[in-house]
Chains A and B, each alone.
Chain A
Protein backbone atom coordinates (compact mmCIF):
# COMPACT_ATOMS: atom_id res chain seq x y z
CA UNK A 1 0.00 0.00 0.00
CA UNK A 2 1.12 3.56 -0.61
CA UNK A 3 1.66 5.37 2.68
CA UNK A 4 0.82 9.07 2.90
CA UNK A 5 2.38 11.37 5.46
CA UNK A 6 1.54 14.98 6.21
CA UNK A 7 3.28 17.76 8.03
CA UNK A 8 2.70 19.48 10.26
CA UNK A 9 0.08 17.48 12.16
CA UNK A 10 -1.31 20.74 13.44
CA UNK A 11 -0.64 24.40 12.85
CA UNK A 12 -1.84 27.57 14.49
CA UNK A 13 -2.38 30.63 12.39
CA UNK A 14 -4.32 33.87 12.29
CA UNK A 15 -6.83 35.34 9.88
CA UNK A 16 -4.89 36.82 6.98
CA UNK A 17 -1.89 34.50 7.32
CA UNK A 18 -0.59 32.12 4.67
CA UNK A 19 -0.24 28.45 5.52
CA UNK A 20 1.41 25.59 3.63
CA UNK A 21 0.77 21.92 4.38
CA UNK A 22 2.95 19.23 2.89
CA UNK A 23 2.11 15.68 1.91
CA UNK A 24 4.53 12.94 0.97
CA UNK A 25 3.79 9.62 -0.68
CA UNK A 26 5.86 6.49 -0.04
CA UNK A 27 6.27 6.07 -3.79
CA UNK A 28 5.69 8.19 -6.85
CA UNK A 29 2.06 8.90 -7.63
CA UNK A 30 0.22 10.76 -10.35
CA UNK A 31 -3.13 11.43 -8.69
CA UNK A 32 -3.38 13.41 -5.50
CA UNK A 33 -6.32 15.20 -3.96
CA UNK A 34 -6.77 17.48 -1.00
CA UNK A 35 -9.85 17.55 1.22
CA UNK A 36 -11.09 19.89 3.93
CA UNK A 37 -13.13 18.55 6.81
CA UNK A 38 -14.97 20.43 9.51
CA UNK A 39 -16.24 18.80 12.70
CA UNK A 40 -19.30 16.64 12.15
CA UNK A 41 -19.17 17.07 8.39
CA UNK A 42 -18.02 14.97 5.47
CA UNK A 43 -14.73 15.76 3.79
CA UNK A 44 -14.99 18.26 0.96
CA UNK A 45 -12.83 18.05 -2.15
CA UNK A 46 -10.64 21.11 -2.61
CA UNK A 47 -8.03 20.11 -5.17
CA UNK A 48 -7.61 17.19 -7.53
CA UNK A 49 -4.81 16.12 -9.83
CA UNK A 50 -2.43 17.81 -7.37
CA UNK A 51 -3.13 21.36 -8.55
CA UNK A 52 -6.62 21.69 -10.07
CA UNK A 53 -9.09 23.63 -8.00
CA UNK A 54 -12.50 22.03 -7.53
CA UNK A 55 -15.33 24.24 -8.73
CA UNK A 56 -16.39 26.72 -6.09
CA UNK A 57 -13.17 26.58 -4.11
CA UNK A 58 -11.68 30.07 -3.63
CA UNK A 59 -8.55 30.96 -5.56
CA UNK A 60 -6.61 31.64 -2.36
CA UNK A 61 -6.28 27.86 -2.16
CA UNK A 62 -3.63 26.25 -4.34
CA UNK A 63 -1.84 22.96 -4.69
CA UNK A 64 1.36 21.88 -6.28
CA UNK A 65 3.77 19.02 -6.47
CA UNK A 66 4.53 15.83 -8.31
CA UNK A 67 6.08 12.43 -7.75
CA UNK A 68 6.22 11.99 -4.01
CA UNK A 69 6.07 15.56 -2.66
CA UNK A 70 3.00 17.75 -2.67
CA UNK A 71 1.78 20.85 -0.91
CA UNK A 72 -1.41 22.76 -0.21
CA UNK A 73 -1.20 26.51 0.36
CA UNK A 74 -3.94 28.75 1.64
CA UNK A 75 -3.30 32.46 1.30
CA UNK A 76 -5.02 35.14 3.32
CA UNK A 77 -6.67 32.73 5.76
CA UNK A 78 -10.34 33.30 6.40
CA UNK A 79 -12.32 32.13 9.46
CA UNK A 80 -13.97 29.39 7.38
CA UNK A 81 -10.57 27.88 6.52
CA UNK A 82 -9.93 26.59 10.03
CA UNK A 83 -10.48 22.88 9.66
CA UNK A 84 -8.60 19.61 9.16
CA UNK A 85 -6.98 18.92 5.80
CA UNK A 86 -6.24 15.52 4.29
CA UNK A 87 -4.30 14.48 1.23
CA UNK A 88 -5.30 11.32 -0.61
CA UNK A 89 -3.73 9.29 -3.38
CA UNK A 90 -5.80 7.52 -5.98
CA UNK A 91 -2.88 6.21 -8.00
CA UNK A 92 -3.27 2.66 -6.76
CA UNK A 93 -5.66 0.51 -4.79
CA UNK A 94 -6.19 0.83 -1.88
CA UNK A 95 -6.66 4.58 -2.08
CA UNK A 96 -5.01 6.02 1.02
CA UNK A 97 -5.32 9.22 2.99
CA UNK A 98 -2.76 11.15 4.94
CA UNK A 99 -3.20 11.43 8.72
CA UNK A 100 -4.45 14.99 8.47
CA UNK A 101 -3.34 18.49 9.40
CA UNK A 102 -5.44 20.46 11.82
CA UNK A 103 -5.43 24.17 11.10
CA UNK A 104 -6.31 26.06 14.23
CA UNK A 105 -6.77 29.68 15.06
Chain B
Protein backbone atom coordinates (compact mmCIF):
# COMPACT_ATOMS: atom_id res chain seq x y z
CA UNK B 1 0.00 0.00 0.00
CA UNK B 2 1.33 3.41 -0.98
CA UNK B 3 1.87 5.60 2.05
CA UNK B 4 3.07 9.17 2.20
CA UNK B 5 3.53 10.78 5.59
CA UNK B 6 4.38 14.47 5.84
CA UNK B 7 5.99 16.07 8.87
CA UNK B 8 7.74 19.27 9.85
CA UNK B 9 4.87 21.70 9.75
CA UNK B 10 4.16 24.16 12.51
CA UNK B 11 4.11 27.79 13.51
CA UNK B 12 6.88 29.98 12.11
CA UNK B 13 7.43 33.71 12.19
CA UNK B 14 7.38 35.79 9.02
CA UNK B 15 10.77 35.65 7.37
CA UNK B 16 11.55 32.33 8.98
CA UNK B 17 12.41 28.95 7.54
CA UNK B 18 11.02 25.45 7.77
CA UNK B 19 11.82 22.06 6.31
CA UNK B 20 9.03 19.67 5.48
CA UNK B 21 9.61 15.95 5.05
CA UNK B 22 7.56 13.28 3.33
CA UNK B 23 8.33 9.68 4.20
CA UNK B 24 7.28 7.27 1.46
CA UNK B 25 6.61 3.56 1.69
CA UNK B 26 4.82 0.80 -0.18
CA UNK B 27 6.38 1.55 -3.56
CA UNK B 28 9.73 2.02 -5.24
CA UNK B 29 10.29 5.65 -4.30
CA UNK B 30 13.30 6.13 -6.58
CA UNK B 31 11.24 5.45 -9.72
CA UNK B 32 8.57 8.14 -9.31
CA UNK B 33 8.41 11.88 -9.73
CA UNK B 34 7.21 13.54 -6.56
CA UNK B 35 5.27 16.76 -5.97
CA UNK B 36 4.40 19.28 -3.29
CA UNK B 37 0.96 20.85 -3.32
CA UNK B 38 -0.42 23.32 -0.81
CA UNK B 39 -3.93 24.29 0.08
CA UNK B 40 -5.44 27.01 2.17
CA UNK B 41 -8.49 25.46 3.88
CA UNK B 42 -11.59 26.22 1.85
CA UNK B 43 -9.59 27.06 -1.27
CA UNK B 44 -8.39 25.02 -4.24
CA UNK B 45 -5.08 23.17 -4.08
CA UNK B 46 -2.07 24.95 -5.55
CA UNK B 47 0.81 23.05 -7.10
CA UNK B 48 4.12 24.14 -5.54
CA UNK B 49 6.93 22.03 -6.94
CA UNK B 50 8.03 18.74 -8.37
CA UNK B 51 11.22 16.74 -8.65
CA UNK B 52 12.25 13.96 -10.99
CA UNK B 53 13.44 10.51 -9.99
CA UNK B 54 17.09 11.33 -9.38
CA UNK B 55 16.65 14.89 -8.25
CA UNK B 56 18.29 16.43 -11.29
CA UNK B 57 15.15 18.22 -12.48
CA UNK B 58 12.98 20.49 -10.37
CA UNK B 59 10.28 23.04 -11.12
CA UNK B 60 8.51 25.57 -8.96
CA UNK B 61 5.48 27.78 -8.93
CA UNK B 62 6.44 31.42 -9.44
CA UNK B 63 5.14 32.27 -5.97
CA UNK B 64 7.83 30.15 -4.30
CA UNK B 65 10.66 30.26 -6.83
CA UNK B 66 13.90 31.33 -5.18
CA UNK B 67 12.54 30.72 -1.69
CA UNK B 68 11.62 27.02 -1.69
CA UNK B 69 13.85 24.10 -2.63
CA UNK B 70 12.63 20.57 -3.25
CA UNK B 71 14.99 17.64 -2.77
CA UNK B 72 14.88 13.92 -2.21
CA UNK B 73 16.89 11.18 -0.59
CA UNK B 74 16.15 7.98 -2.49
CA UNK B 75 18.11 5.89 0.00
CA UNK B 76 15.76 7.07 2.73
CA UNK B 77 12.63 7.18 0.52
CA UNK B 78 12.06 10.73 1.70
CA UNK B 79 11.05 13.92 -0.06
CA UNK B 80 11.87 17.34 1.35
CA UNK B 81 10.72 20.90 0.92
CA UNK B 82 13.04 23.57 2.28
CA UNK B 83 11.11 26.81 2.74
CA UNK B 84 12.83 30.15 3.34
CA UNK B 85 11.65 33.76 3.69
CA UNK B 86 8.19 32.60 4.67
CA UNK B 87 5.32 35.04 4.47
CA UNK B 88 1.71 35.10 5.57
CA UNK B 89 0.54 33.81 2.20
CA UNK B 90 2.59 30.65 2.66
CA UNK B 91 0.20 29.56 5.40
CA UNK B 92 -1.46 26.38 4.16
CA UNK B 93 -1.66 22.62 4.46
CA UNK B 94 1.24 21.16 2.52
CA UNK B 95 0.77 17.81 0.82
CA UNK B 96 3.30 15.61 -0.84
CA UNK B 97 2.02 13.58 -3.75
CA UNK B 98 3.32 10.84 -6.00
CA UNK B 99 2.78 10.80 -9.72
CA UNK B 100 0.14 8.37 -10.87
CA UNK B 101 0.08 5.74 -13.55
CA UNK B 102 -0.10 8.24 -16.38
CA UNK B 103 2.89 10.14 -15.05
CA UNK B 104 0.95 13.37 -15.40
CA UNK B 105 -1.45 13.18 -12.50
CA UNK B 106 -1.14 13.16 -8.72
CA UNK B 107 -2.12 9.61 -8.00
CA UNK B 108 -1.36 9.38 -4.29
CA UNK B 109 -1.35 12.03 -1.59
CA UNK B 110 -0.19 12.23 1.98
CA UNK B 111 -2.40 13.50 4.79
CA UNK B 112 -0.77 16.92 4.77
CA UNK B 113 1.10 19.02 7.31
CA UNK B 114 -0.05 22.47 8.39
CA UNK B 115 2.28 25.43 8.11
CA UNK B 116 1.21 28.63 9.83
CA UNK B 117 3.24 31.78 9.28
CA UNK B 118 2.40 34.31 11.96
CA UNK B 119 4.06 36.66 14.38
In Å, the complex CA distance between A99 and B43 comes to 7
Which residues on B are within 8 Å of A, measured CB to CB? 35, 44-47, 50, 59-62, 95, 100-102, 104-112
Tell me which residues across on chain A come within 8 A of B109, comparing CB atoms.
42-44
Top-10 shortest CB links A-B: A42-B109, A48-B105, A95-B47, A33-B105, A90-B104, A31-B104, A97-B44, A94-B61, A48-B102, A93-B59
In Å, the complex CA distance between A83 and B98 comes to 22
Interface residues of A in 63-105 (CB under 8 A from B): 86, 88, 90-91, 93-100
Known: A48-B100, A54-B100, A93-B59. A43 touches B105 (CB 8 A): no
Most buried by A among B95, B109, B111: B109
Is A14 close to B, CB under 8 A? Answer: no
Tell me which residues across on chain A come within 8 A of B108, comparing CB atoms.
45
Tell me which residues across on chain B come within 8 A of A52, comparing CB atoms.
102
For residue B119, give the distance in angstroms from its CB to the closest CB of chain A.
27
Among residues of A, the one whose C-beta sits closest to the C-beta of B48 is A94
Among residues of A, the one whose C-beta sits closest to the C-beta of B49 is A94
Contact partner of A45 (CB less than 8 A), chosen from B35, B106, B112, is B106
Most buried by B among A43, A94, A97, A99: A94
Tell me which residues across on chain A come within 8 A of B112, comparing CB atoms.
42
Contact partner of A48 (CB less than 8 A), chosen from B45, B95, B104, B110, is B104
Contact partner of A31 (CB less than 8 A), chosen from B47, B60, B102, is B102
For residue B101, give the distance in angstroms from its CB to the closest CB of chain A.
7
Among residues of B, the one whose C-beta sits closest to the C-beta of A30 is B104
Contact partner of B105 (CB less than 8 A), chosen from A31, A41, A42, A99, is A31
Inter-chain contact A86/B102, CB cutoff 8 Å: no
Tell me which residues across on chain B come within 8 A of A35, comparing CB atoms.
45, 106
Known: A43-B106, A88-B106. A97 touches B101 (CB 8 A): no
Most buried by A among B45, B61, B95: B45
